[in-house]
């Protein structure tokens, strides 16, 4: 049986003229960005975002796919340069800004002045995409909004990112409120669903902020995705359009849960702490040496977990998915306790080994449905980074810069065989490309 399968797989690989062992290397070289064309090599993007990372992140995605991205800043620089964890910086630049300074060019241009707006107008006539995060209507007042720019450049794609968007009464009412990640998380249903259950002591039962810029990254990604879709339409018809991203929507629109649960259940979900509301077991448990994440939610996965933890005696009570619904907290805490009583007896490595051995055995046995319980140590990011897997996949890139020093950024997050995104350089001096940009775009 397995021999036949091997043969089948070999046949598949014959096409490439390689053996199974070489397949890995083949895929790695297939996905390498070296010498490959860039998707957006003929696209010019202006990023005029101010104190808002959604715009910077959206611009990064365009830049990674090869667009010429010009970051436009006033002489003192974008305040986003100074948003950084605990004030950590490299050569005066904050870490998030540094990390997103991918393949970009920097132009000093003060849009508050008439001269700056005149230059911006000239640039905009040649641009394919503009990204801005000013209060709704601000650029329109200045005469450099979508309404005016699209007359000279009908193919322009104009992305505006604000907390509450460009239309509706609320957008008008809240137009002067600036954006931040934490308010985006709060307004879009993320914070409300993190935290301990109601009866826990304060402040643990409060809504909680996710420990990464989820609000800003989802807004930035959605903006880039919308921009890419608009670029496709432009390639088809030559027509541009305006894109309106509201960061107060970002998370709810991405995952959907808050909205359709709010509708079908007609009330808000309570916070469940370490439990999930659909799958169980699916979360954190203590082991002898730290926290482990366990995912064994399907019935056969759960049975397997019980076997490796020597807990088969409780199988009868918790057999089906519907025995393990987390709506009654007392009940599920009981199961949590039963599992925890076993997991604390082992170190995390022992648990991982047990789960792996079981999975491999189950996969090889004739009796399918053996289940795949997955146990994993909860790593810190720097521990996660150490895995050789990421080295083989080039998931991180070491950057060495005279001014900025040596550091690591996560890259190559999409592997594509023909036109992969890539990071060519990191740079972030204010106005460092003034001359180049003025010569190329502002001479006439």
Partner 1 sequence: MAGKTEDYFSYTKKLFDPSRINEKPEVFKGIKVLDFSHVIFGPVAARILAQYGAEVFKIEMPFVGDLWRFGVYWGKFWKHSSVCFHFVHYNKYFLSINLKSAKAKELIYKLAEQADVVVENFAAGTAEAWGVGYSQLSRVNPKIIYLSCATYGQYGPLRFFPGWDLLAQAASGAISLTGYPGTDKYYKLPDYLGDYFPGNVGALSLVMALYHRKKTGKGQYIDLAQSEALMRILPNFTYFSITNQELERVGNTDPTMAPSGIFKSRDGKFVAMAAATDEQLRALFSAMGQKKLMAEYKDSFDRLHPRNARELHRIAEEWVSKKDSIEIVNLAKEYGFPVAEVMDDFQLANDEWRRQRGSVIAFNDDMYRKFVLPGPSAMLSRTPGRVKWLSRPLGYHNRYILKTFFKLSEEEIKKLEKERVVGYWDDRPGIKPPVYYDIEKDPIFNYQVDGRGQTK
Positions 244 through 303 that interact with partner 1 (CB under 8 A):
244-269, 273-274, 276-279, 282-284, 286, 291, 293, 295, 297-298
Q: Which of left, alpha, beta for 69 (phi over 0: left; psi -120 to 50: alpha)?
A: beta
Nearest approach, Cβ of residue 55 and partner 1 (Å): 12
**Binding residue (CB under 8 A) for partner 1 from 114, 229, 341, 344:** 229
Q: Interface with partner 1 includes 395 (CB under 8 A)?
A: yes
Q: Is 75 in the site for partner 1 (CB under 8 A)?
A: no
Q: For residues 100 and 117, what is the distance between their CA atoms, to the nearest angstrom?
A: 25
Four-CA torsion 320, 322, 326, 328, nearest 10 degrees:
-110
Residues 193-212 that bind partner 1 (CB under 8 A): 193-196, 203-204, 206-212
Q: How far apart are CA 181 and CA 52, in angstroms?
A: 9
- Residue-wise over 150-168: b if at least 16 C-beta within 10 A, else e? beebebbbbbbbbbbbbee
Nearest to 102 by CA among 381, 428, 416: 428
* Residue entry with tokens 């339409």: 233
Does the footprint of partner 1 cover residue 332 (CB under 8 A)? no
User: How big is the CA angle at 371 (ends 370 and 377), to the nearest 5 degrees?
Assistant: 135
Judged by CB under 8 A, does residue 428 bind partner 1?
no
420 vs 437 by CB, closer to partner 1: 420
Taking the least distance from each CB to partner 1, the nearer of 148 and 432 is 148
Q: For residue 328, give the 3-state DSSP assignment.
A: coil
- What is the distance between the alpha carbons of residues 379 and 295, in angstroms, rounded to a whole number? 15
Q: What is the 3-state secondary structure (H, E, C) of 76-116?
A: CCCHHHHCCHHHCEECCEEHHHHHCCECEEEEECCCCCHHH
Q: Which is nearer to partner 1, 109 or 189 (CB)?
A: 189
Residue 418 makes contact with partner 1 by CB under 8 A:
yes
- Minimum distance between the CB of residue 439 and partner 1, rounded to whole angstroms? 27
Distance (Å, whole) CA 274 – CA 186: 19
Minimum distance of partner 1 from residue 213's CB (angstroms) = 7
* String marking each residue 349-378 x if it binds partner 1 according to CB under 8 A: ----------x------------x-x-xxx
**Minimum distance of partner 1 from residue 112's CB (angstroms):** 13
Q: Is the dihedral of CA 33, 37, 39, 41 positive or negative?
A: positive
Stretch that binds partner 1, among 124-132, 168-176, 340-348, 436-444 (CB under 8 A): 168-176
Rounded to whole angstroms, the Cα distance separating 361 from 384 reads 27
* Least distance CB 107 / partner 1 (angstroms): 21
How many residues make contact with partner 1 (CB under 8 A)? 193
183 binds partner 1 (CB under 8 A): yes
Select 37 or 75, whichever has its Cβ closest to partner 1.
37
> Is residue 219 at the binding interface for partner 1, with CB under 8 A as the rule?
yes
Member of 75, 178, 312, 341 binding partner 1 (CB under 8 A): 178
User: Quick check: 121 binds partner 1 (CB under 8 A)?
Assistant: no
């Amino acid at each position: 049986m397995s021999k036949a399968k091997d043969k089948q797989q070999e046949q598949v690989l014959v096409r490439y003229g390689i053996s199974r062992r070489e397949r890995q290397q083949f895929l790695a070289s297939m996905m390498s960005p070296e010498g490959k064309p860039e998707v957006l090599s003929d696209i010019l993007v202006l990023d005029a975002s101010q104190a808002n990372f959604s715009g910077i992140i959206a611009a990064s995605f365009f830049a990674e796919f090869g667009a010429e991205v010009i970051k436009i800043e006033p002489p003192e620089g974008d305040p986003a340069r100074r948003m950084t964890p605990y004030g950590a910086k490299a050569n005066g630049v904050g870490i998030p800004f540094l990390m997103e300074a991918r393949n970009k060019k920097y132009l000093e241009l003060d849009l508050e002045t008439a001269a700056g707006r005149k230059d911006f107008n000239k640039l905009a006539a040649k641009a394919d995409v503009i990204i801005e995060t000013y209060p709704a209507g601000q650029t329109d007042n200045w005469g450099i909004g979508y309404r005016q720019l699209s007359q000279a450049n009908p193919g322009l794609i104009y992305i505006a990112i604000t907390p509450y968007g460009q239309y509706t009464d609320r957008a008008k009412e809240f137009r002067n409120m600036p954006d931040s990640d934490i308010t985006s998380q709060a307004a879009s249903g993320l914070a409300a669903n993190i935290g301990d259950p109601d009866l826990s002591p304060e402040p643990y039962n409060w809504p909680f902020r996710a420990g990464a810029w989820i609000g800003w990254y989802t807004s930035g990604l959605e903006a880039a995705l919308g921009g890419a879709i608009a670029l496709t339409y432009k390639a088809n018809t030559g027509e541009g359009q305006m894109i309106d991203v509201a960061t107060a929507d970002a998370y709810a629109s991405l995952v959907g849960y808050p909205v359709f649960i709010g509708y079908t259940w007609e009330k808000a979900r309570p916070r469940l702490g370490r439990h999930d509301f659909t799958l169980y077991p699916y979360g954190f448990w203590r082991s002898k040496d730290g926290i482990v994440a366990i995912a064994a939610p399907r019935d056969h996965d759960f049975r397997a977990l019980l076997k490796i933890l020597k807990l088969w005696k409780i199988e009868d009570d918790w057999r089906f998915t519907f025995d393990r619904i987390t709506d009654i907290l007392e009940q599920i805490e009981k199961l949590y306790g039963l599992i925890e009583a076993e997991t604390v007896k082992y170190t995390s490595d022992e648990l991982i080994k047990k789960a792996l051995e079981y999975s491999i055995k189950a996969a090889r046995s004739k009796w399918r449905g053996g289940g795949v319980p997955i146990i994993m140590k909860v790593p810190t990011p720097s521990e996660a980074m150490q895995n050789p897997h990421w080295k083989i996949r080039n998931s991180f890139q070491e950057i060495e810069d005279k001014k900025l020093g040596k550091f690591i950024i996560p890259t190559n997050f999409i592997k594509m065989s023909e036109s992969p995104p890539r990071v060519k350089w990191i740079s972030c001096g204010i106005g460092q490309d003034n001359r180049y940009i003025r010569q190329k775009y502002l001479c006439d």
